[in-house]
A and B are shown apart, each in its own frame.
Chain A
């Protein structure tokens, strides 16, 4: 019984976490356009909370930006244009997925470059290591080896 109650409570908590912040008054009447607005919103960072998208954030500013995005869509903007309207005010930082451009090359390709450097270095090191040639057995050792092998058979 206690366990069941616990499970119910946890599920309710999880439900609360997955809830989004879009308020009913903000929603657009056209469901297709609203869906576009939602998908744009999940890609935009809330500048107050900085690690939440404006779709999840209850900050006032997130609300303002959600409304701005919907206004732009209603005015006939494409998704890219609506996103650009926010980027032109707040810069690339509002994009949760940073764009690939020279200033962000280090961010995007740095880890891969680091990995490749490491691999190349390791290969180079392995190859350049002198092969270990064990010294030949002495006459005594050879005799001992033969004796042991004979024992085995």
Chain B
């Protein structure tokens, strides 16, 4: 008993050290927040399309899994993420839609004409209200919405190769299969 008590500080130290080591694991960002929207219905939106007179609306996009990427021409990490989106868009089963967050339409259009347009459709969220409804706190953010219109996953910050290969595509495959 006495010996056990003597070992208590060592045990406490090990627990703490383990916790700290776990918090230092690669790829972990303590500032990244879990989304409150996971498994809830995506908020309704009905935005003017960037090109043409059409609308980009939640209810019009239901029926198949969907990837929604919030971006802006003024956002530097969006440029970093862009080549990855271009590659993602080439995959036949990925329905990638963009929402231009707090961006002037002409700026978004110039951004896409310079870097290429990976999106099947782009909604203009001029005042950021749709972003607010989704719980966006900084672009880029990427949401995976299932066929029924429920948010299944959020990626904060620029997508990475690893996140796409290990999380986004497998999730889409699961959602597509069921």
Residue ranges of A at the interface with B (Cβ–Cβ < 8 Å): 47-48, 50, 60-61, 64-65, 68, 87-93
Contact = CB atoms under 8 A, between A and B. Distances in A.
Nearest to B35: A91
B73 to A, nearest CB: 15
Interface stretch (B109-117, B131-139, B166-174): B131-139
List the 10 closest pairs (A to B, CB-CB), nearest first: A91-B36, A47-B137, A89-B135, A64-B132, A90-B135, A93-B33, A90-B36, A64-B128, A61-B137, A89-B36
B31 interface: yes
A60 B102 contact: yes
Secondary structure type dominating chain A contacts? helix
A121 to B, nearest CB: 8
Interface in B34-80: 34-37
B128 A48 contact: no
Interface in B1-41: 31, 33-37
Contacts of A64: 128-129, 132
Contacts of B133: 89
A92 B36 CA distance: 8
Given A47-B137, A48-B137, A61-B137, A88 B36 contact: yes
Given A61-B137, A64-B128, A65-B132, A91 B102 contact: no
B138 A87 contact: no
A26 to B, nearest CB: 14
Contacts of A68: 132
B31 A89 contact: no
Interface size class of B (residues with CB under 8 A): 10 to 19
B5 to A, nearest CB: 8
Given A48-B137, A60-B102, A89-B135, 10 more contacts: A47-B138, A61-B132, A61-B138, A64-B128, A64-B132, A68-B132, A89-B132, A90-B33, A91-B33, A91-B34
A60 B128 contact: yes
B44 to A, nearest CB: 13
Among B102, B129, B134, B135, the most chain A Cβ lie within 10 Å of the Cβ of B135
B138 A48 contact: yes
Contacts of B102: 60
A65 B95 CA distance: 30
24 contacts: A47-B138, A48-B138, A60-B128, A61-B132, A61-B138, A64-B128, A65-B132, A68-B132, A87-B36, A89-B36, A89-B37, A89-B132, A89-B133, A90-B33, A90-B36, A90-B137, A91-B33, A91-B34, A91-B35, A91-B36, A91-B135, A92-B36, A93-B33, A93-B34
Nearest to B133: A89
B33 A47 contact: yes
A90 B134 CA distance: 8
